[in-house]
A and B are shown apart, each in its own frame.
Chain A
């Protein structure tokens, strides 16, 4: 039982990180129907920016988090403007291949500058380095930190999407782009804003995974990126609460498989879940069936 609770806590911490990334995937997919393969690499860059802020600029965790989110947001918008915007009317396959190109460019460009060897994150200090034990259960302060930051960001995101003008524009564009344009919504600005928010969340996820696992490398975004996408598909792509549920689910599954089975199988299990979901209910957990019209 204790072991189960321990795994549950680890799973929720990891799931928070997946959920943050899945949100970016799901929002971008919802608005321009693109699997943004470069999203995992924005997350990687977020981790590196956090690393440089904390190691070389000697900043604390919270300023680093903020800087990392801002830089990633700018980066996300830049990527969108350079690589995706000229392809607004191109086929989906062209945009997808462009996304793969951006991803390769970011991964190997980063590798060229920072060298491929993994780097270890600076240890946290003060109250963030502590851990609390209840019986045999160990809860580390950084796990609480990860969960709290994720929840705060999600609440913030819900507020932006549901209550602000730009959030309303985002919902409108994802529902029907042409109609939104006719209503006077600037579609390009709304799409850029979506990339901005998604990339900021990925940046936050990057720095959180840095403090959680302590080790970062230029290719770290590939696998988690794909898994976060699985999470988004699981919850129903384009649906924000679905991405949150999916993220936590994938995180829990992964930790449980590693804890009770063989940690080498965790990727296989995640992809098996993906294939099963796609075959059984392609629209995802919260998605609605859509019919194809001729």
Chain B
């Protein structure tokens, strides 16, 4: 009997993952067809790119802030490392290989900087950590603007970066990031990270090395932020240090908070929602930020847990939801 239950639950899990794969591949194929038939033009596609970059950034920050509970305000700093590395490499080696190499190197460099920043600062808690990471991101920005001026062209930034990002790469990296991070969270390491968020002292007492898991989450987050930066530089031709300032970090944080700290699907959802809002408000950028500010205050006042809270959107939830609607409409449950 027990054996039967086990195999059936395995079966269900296998089915669910198969459904996920099919949905993902279908989604990829449909968008690809729409792009090749020019129904999705360059303008819509650039919104797509923004959404995907924001998803990568938000999911990776969610790992640090939402799941591990370490408040980081310096995510844009890691993004800039990936962006500059990839841009500098593709400007010299303008090939697909150069792009992928630059992207991976950028991500690895961001992760290495993450280790160096994380090891000393992650001893700090809450607000102090937020300020320290903010300071770190500012220092990285000044590094790119002034110290490495000869290579990075200073405040003027780099332009004419060859464009290698197409829908295929974008899809692979976005879906890959979401899949890898959600697998990480469902692993024993991920559970350790969550326990550090819930109660660090209790986690330590249970034998979890909290510093190790904090640094692990921080470095993983930095790695994926580096990938997002690389995609950004490769799609938008142009980067400058000021693009990766304090405001960019706040932007990412807003996505995470709106989606729900500790919910991957929430981050994905809110990245899409916010991209739609900001595309709509593009003609008056000042008002966009005012609305951002008000949105942040309102979310914190009325729904501090965000859209999804710490729950995930799952197939069985959706089934229940659909059934609920059917029931309301008087259909057969």
Which A residues fall within an 8 A CB radius of B?
33, 35, 83, 86-87, 90-98, 100-109, 111-112, 116, 222, 226, 229-230, 233, 262, 264-265, 267-268, 271-272, 274-275, 278-279, 282, 292, 294
Contacts and interface: CB of A to CB of B under 8 A. Distances in A.
Contact of B294 (A91, A105, A268): A105
B286 interface: yes
Interface residues of B, number: 41
Contacts of B304: 87, 90-91, 94
Interface of B: 65, 71, 120-121, 123-124, 126-128, 130-132, 134-136, 138-139, 142-143, 145-146, 201, 246, 250, 253, 257, 261, 286-290, 292-297, 300-301, 304
B290 A226 contact: no
Contacts of B145: 264
23 contacts: A93-B65, A96-B130, A97-B253, A97-B300, A98-B297, A103-B293, A104-B250, A105-B293, A107-B293, A108-B292, A111-B286, A229-B131, A230-B131, A233-B128, A233-B131, A264-B142, A268-B143, A271-B136, A274-B131, A274-B132, A274-B135, A278-B128, A292-B201
B312 to A, nearest CB: 20
Contacts of A97: 253, 257, 296, 300
A222 B294 contact: no
Contacts of B65: 93
Contacts of A264: 142, 145-146
B297 A101 contact: yes
A92 B294 contact: no
A108 B289 contact: yes
Contacts of B146: 262, 264-265, 268
Contact of B134 (A104, A226, A268, A279): A226
A272 B134 CA distance: 11
A35 B131 contact: yes
Given A93-B71, A222-B246, A98 B296 contact: yes
Contacts of B288: 108
Given A108-B289, A112-B290, A278-B121, A102 B297 contact: yes
